[in-house]
Structure 1
Amino acid sequence: METVDTLIVGAGAVGLAIAAQLSKNLSNVLIIDKNTSFGEETSSRNSEVIHAGIYYPESTLKSKLCVEGKELLYQYCTNRNISFSRLGKLIVATDNEQESLLSDILCKAKANHVSDLKILSRREVNTLEPQVKSTSALYSPSTGIIDSHSFMQSLLAEAEANGALFSPLTELINVEVIKNGFIVKVSCQGETFTFQCRNLINSGGLQADKIARCIRSLSEKFIPNVNFCRGHYFSYSGVSPFKHLVYPVPSENGLGIHATLDMSGQLKFGPDTEFINEIDYTVPEWLKGQFVRAIKNYFPLIDGSKLQPAYAGIRPKLSKNKFNDFIIQDETKHGIKGLMNLFGIESPGLTASLAIANLVNQALANLR
């Protein structure tokens, strides 16, 4: 039977980062994905923001890996000539109650070792962004944007240069746990293949729980349910009125409909939050009215005729109504040697991808 060192299921940003990292020391790494290419789901349907690590509760994986991953990501992009920009972000308060929330956010950021934030007055905000309505704002200079496709392309090229192989249109069917690894059955373009691997990395994103249920010996108690949370984006035609990223003060439903720019200068707004039962990337035209009303709170001069449906993304959330951290399970959690399960890798997964890869690499090394 054919054997590989490590099978990585899922070729999003995190799976590819893990492949690039593990292939430095392992000669036979295989990445599979059910889609026609890499990064076709959550990794390519987001805001492409490099997050600073501001909002997450202290000592969580999200806070630690976001702050660590941000610096790794900026360095990686610099070293490999991947397009990025440290545009900076304004978190905008529009009344006294929201101003008090800015202070809470600042304290949380400092607890997460994000020390470059600054409270700006209304006048200072107006100097940076004349069309933003605010009473004050929190400025994050280390927040940026990235060309996520080029980043993932670079990770795959690095992994392949190290001898890794990528097999698209390949879906996991079944995994049997054996003494020194796993016997894996996959379907590839209508044909079924069986092979053996020593390590198995489940980086399946939206399908991570489904993939975990293919592993016969893995107890159901270790498999959380993944909820599909859709966020819609609308593009704004013409020259952008903003030079920075502009966010409202976050609410219980998330970070709110914010303004972001891509590397070409295209302005877009989103995402909102909608839980759905099936994967569906539709952006209904009728949502425009809701978007315009939300955006007017900080951009009162918005021209609704310039707002057009752009795309939708789906995040794999582990809860519908509370904060959930990343779940990264190794043998110490579920008892299966060589198995790593990654659940709930949503935002800030892109920012944290290189740090997650380091964590997975270290966990496997410690358990060899």
Structure 2
Amino acid sequence: MVDSVQCVVVGAGVVGLAVARALALRGREVLVLEAEAAVGTQTSARSSEVIHAGIYYPPGSLKARLCVQGSAMLYDYCARRQVPHRRCGKLIVATSARQTEALQAVAARAQANGVHDLQWLGAAAAHRLEPALQCHAALLSPGTGIIDSHALMLALQADLQQHGAMVVLNTKVVQLDATRGALRLRTQEGAELAANLVVNAAGLHAPALARRTPGLPPALVPRAFHAKGSYFACGARVPFSHLIYPLPEAAGLGVHLTLDLAGRARFGPDVQWVDSPDDLQVDGERALGFYAEVRRYWPALPDGALLPNYAGMRPKISGPGEPAADFLIQGPSAHGLPGLVNLFGIESPGLTSCLALGECVAALPGVADAR
């Protein structure tokens, strides 16, 4: 006999936990299946831990809408649940006169997205705020912050468990069958489970799981691309109190300076397209490129100061040279399979957007009424 449950969320990263929490708060019976031995050990554990304001994303996109909504929700949640965070602000910098027009375009896009608190700073004003900074102009985003992502995930897990949901670790889902009425999941150990609703929140592995889903048209499953981002710590004192971001690159946000809640600085991530999501070793030779990028806005970075730290992997569904894809929330109305939701390409700002993503999934047609 196959066991059954109302709802299964595959993946216990920050987004999977937020989705499970949203469902549990609505009184649903929820099981979260996680392949690893702890929650949030992959993409969620290897980010910049930044609460984004919603500045960069195309107006009208899910990334823009859910980031702006999610940022407000996340600050409120952190205050209520005492999750460590700080609204430290960030500076987006133009390091030459020719970048000024591009910086103005960033400001216009932010305004279109509903981010209305940006402040334009000339070189002198930026220097007064951050004396070690070199730039031609800057945008100050006071709504940008930093967060302890691990504490956030533990709070989300505690919430969902308090409402009767359960997280099961060391349980890898290898196939999802959508051809026999109720959705059926099979784990690596051979166990089977039937569910009325399945949310594929497997992050880096979400497209692969979707391809192992009989009944789901292969044309609806995007190709997975893996954009590795390496981070370097700094062995010298870093004289900044704000996050410092250069103008965005095509596949990322540039080699930026972020701070953790203890005040430690790190630089990154860069963008390196790789074949395997498990390619997480930091190549120390990449520091050579970091020095050149960082010295555009911090010329005083000492030689030999950058130390390999860690690497993360962006779960992209757009490849090199392509415009960055939006979040893809693929529910029953898209593929015709009752009770199945695939979450593809949930890269940055996924952490900021997690609570809004949870609400969005829970309200999807075919999800709210799946019992």
Runs of 4+ residues deviating >3 angstroms: none
- Corresponding letter in the other structure for 2:232: F
Q: How many residues align structurally?
A: 365
Unpaired runs of at least 5, structure 1: none
Structure 1 residue aligned with 2:197? 199
Deviations 1:328-355 (A, max 9, x none): 0111100011100000000000000000
Maintained 8 Å contact 1:281/1:312: yes
Structure 2 residue aligned with 1:267? 265
Structure 2 residue aligned with 1:234? 232
Q: Residues of 1 paired with 2:180 and 2:206: CA distance?
A: 24
* Paired residue secondary structure (2:35): coil
Q: Which aligned pairs between 1:56-67 and structure 2 lie closer than 5 A?
A: 56-67=57-68
Q: Residues of 1 paired with 2:63 and 2:54: CA distance?
A: 8
Maintained 8 Å contact 1:172/1:214: no
Question: Cα RMSD between the aligned structures?
Answer: 1.3
Deviation of residue 127 (structure 1)?
1.0
Cα 1:253/1:336, change in 2 over 3 Å: closer
Maintained 8 Å contact 2:83/2:151: yes
Deviation of residue 125 (structure 1)?
0.6
Q: Residues of 2 paired with 1:298 and 1:344: CA distance?
A: 31
User: Bigger shift: 44-53 or 168-177?
Assistant: 168-177
User: Bigger shift: 170-179 or 295-304?
Assistant: 170-179
* Paired residue secondary structure (1:71): helix
Structure 1 residue aligned with 2:296? 297
Structure 2 residue aligned with 1:341? 342
Deviations 1:142-167 (A, max 9, x none): 00000000000110111111111111
Q: Residues of 1 paired with 2:104 and 2:175: CA distance?
A: 50
* Paired residue secondary structure (1:304): coil
- Corresponding letter in the other structure for 2:302: D
- Corresponding letter in the other structure for 1:258: H
Structure 2 residue aligned with 1:116? 117
Deviations 1:184-205 (A, max 9, x none): 2112xxx321121110000011
Deviation of residue 175 (structure 1)?
2.2
Deviation of residue 238 (structure 1)?
4.6
Structure 2 residue aligned with 1:365? 368
Q: Residues of 2 paired with 1:367 and 1:182: CA distance?
A: 12
Deviation of residue 178 (structure 1)?
5.3
Deviations 1:44-77 (A, max 9, x none): 1010000010011110000000000000000000
Q: Residues of 2 paired with 1:255 and 1:235: CA distance?
A: 18
Structure 1 residue aligned with 2:81? 80
Q: Residues of 2 paired with 1:145 and 1:137: CA distance?
A: 20
Deviation of residue 251 (structure 1)?
2.6
Indicate yes or no: 2:222 matched with 1:221: no
Identity rate, percent: 40
Unpaired runs of at least 5, structure 2: none
Q: Residues of 2 paired with 1:173 and 1:291: CA distance?
A: 39
Structure 2 residue aligned with 1:288? 287
Deviation of residue 15 (structure 1)?
0.1
Structure 2 residue aligned with 1:26? 27
Q: Residues of 1 paired with 2:237 and 2:315: CA distance?
A: 33
Structure 2 residue aligned with 1:89? 90
User: Bigger shift: 66-75 or 155-164?
Assistant: 155-164
Q: Residues of 1 paired with 2:137 and 2:184: CA distance?
A: 58
Give the TM-score normalised by structure 2.
0.96
Maintained 8 Å contact 2:86/2:147: yes
- Corresponding letter in the other structure for 2:43: T
Q: Residues of 1 paired with 2:24 and 2:181: CA distance?
A: 20
- Corresponding letter in the other structure for 1:207: H
Q: Residues of 2 paired with 1:106 and 1:173: CA distance?
A: 44
Cα 1:238/1:301, change in 2 over 3 Å: closer
Cα 1:133/1:235, change in 2 over 3 Å: same
Q: Residues of 2 paired with 1:107 and 1:367: CA distance?
A: 41
Give the TM-score normalised by structure 1.
0.97
- Corresponding letter in the other structure for 2:246: P
